[in-house]
Amino acid sequence: MFLDLDDLTMHLRTDGPQDAPVLLMLHSLGTDHGVWDPQAAVLSRNFRVVRPDLRGHGLTGVTAGPYSIKGLAEDALCAMNRLGIMQAHVAGLSIGGMVGQALAAVAPSRVSSLVLCDTAMSIPPPGLWRDRAATVRASGTTAIADAVVARWVTPAAADTPETHRLRSMVVNTASEGYAGAAEAIAAADLASMTPSLRVPVLIAVGDQDVATPIAAAQHLAGAIAGSELSVIMGASHIPTFERSNELTGVIKTFLQRQLS
């Protein structure tokens, strides 16, 4: 479905019972809502799963960058308002996890719990993201697709259909959308807001993630009182496909506790 927000049209997919608790799932840079497909297939049995394509990604409209994490969180909040969703559990992957942190900070009454996958309060160095933004503006996302995807999965998963699908997501992401979101990561430092979060939080990270490694996840867990940390073995930065069953199980167990 499509929603008209203030300055763009957002595409999103909804699955599951309309009267069930809402689970808002936010994808990573250079992907789209489909990166959560394995998890949504299971979690939609008990949740109304809402998966937007972030600004400049998927079928959502593209606006000129740079974007900001707070602005992307405001997009998510606007979508919730348009759909009449007063409160949601929120899961975010990579930049989606940064957006989830910002959403919970700026609208704490609207977030029931957080699942933060392979993310952090900041992902340095900022120059890397600005250089990548410049590259895709000049040469398109195809120019960075192979290098990016190589950091997303372990070598054992490099030639799987799921990894080929991830590469297609990158290639099909609008250059300005990718660049604008990369610039949002470059400027992001959530250390002033994330420690104030007072909702149940699960932090999951692949044991072989080099983009947001275990040390970053531990730092994030230390900043959020009462948070849980789960390490997904045999996974890199995008475990949603590579270790789908393990990640889905961890998330399902956490969310079921929130409903009890």
Task: Annotate 112-148 with DSSP letters as a single string.
Answer: EEEEEES--S--S-HHHHHHHHHHHHHH-THHHHHHH
Token pair listed for 95:
């930049």
Domain ranges for the chain: 2-259
Judge whether residue 101 has pLDDT over 90. yes
The reported pLDDT for the residue numbered 209 is 98
The reported pLDDT for the residue numbered 94 is 98
Judge whether residue 186 has pLDDT over 90. yes
The reported pLDDT for the residue numbered 6 is 87
The reported pLDDT for the residue numbered 89 is 98
Token pair listed for 127:
């120059």
The reported pLDDT for the residue numbered 260 is 79
Judge whether residue 222 has pLDDT over 90. yes
Q: Quick one: pLDDT band at residue 16, thresholds 50, 70, 90?
A: very high
The reported pLDDT for the residue numbered 232 is 98
Amino acid at 61: G
- Residues 85, 95: Cα–Cα separation, whole Å: 22
Token pair listed for 150:
């190589």
Q: Quick one: pLDDT band at residue 58, thresholds 50, 70, 90?
A: very high
H or E stretch covering 217: helix 214-223
Topology given in CATH for the domain delimited by 2-259:
Rossmann fold (3.40.50)
* Mean pLDDT, the chain, whole residue set: 97
Judge whether residue 60 has pLDDT over 90. yes
The reported pLDDT for the residue numbered 176 is 98
Q: State what percent of residues in the chain have pLDDT above 90.
A: 99
Instruction: Kindly give the pairing relationship between strand 9-15 and strand 2-4.
Output: antiparallel
Contact 52, 76 (CB under 8 A): yes
Sheet architecture: strand order including 228-232: 2-4, 9-15, 48-52, 22-26, 88-93, 111-117, 201-206, 228-232
